[in-house]
Structure 1
Amino acid sequence: MAKCLSSICAVNHFAKSNNFLNGVIAVPARRSLEKEKIDSFEKLSDYSEEEIMQLHGFGKNAMEKLKNHMREHQVSFKNQYL
């Protein structure tokens, strides 16, 4: 019975999961973005680097990976000082 329940759980988890940044940053950081409804580069660019760093799962490593990926797609964070 437990095998069936875990299968259902896995299907439900993947069904609602978004592919945004999949394989770029770790799951805890992606979940934090999902929680904030950030599921596209357009929405991500509305935030400053400092704001994203406050989210769970974001440290130097995750931020560096995210910034590199954003650079490759010609996207940048909101300038905090505007």
Structure 2
Amino acid sequence: MIREEDEAYLAQYRALLKAWTMAVGGFTNDDSDELHRKLEAGQDELARIAQDHPEKSYDVDMLIHARSRPWGGFAADRLPRPPHRQP
């Protein structure tokens, strides 16, 4: 891939990560499991970008670690949100 395509992929992955984070946090009704599967599927592409563009390795590392850090639980496992924080 050319640099512009890799930049576009990183931007798309960041947006997907944000959507997943919002779903896990209970701020949207998106399917957090489906979004997580999409994030997992993109990990090989992230690794390739880091190898092809060493200056992007920090960005890739941050994306991978943001996705894999422990969360309070997926929507099905979370306690209900307080009434004043309901969407």
TM-score greater than 0.5 by the shorter chain: no
Q: Which has the higher helix share?
A: 2
TM-score by length of 1: 0.29
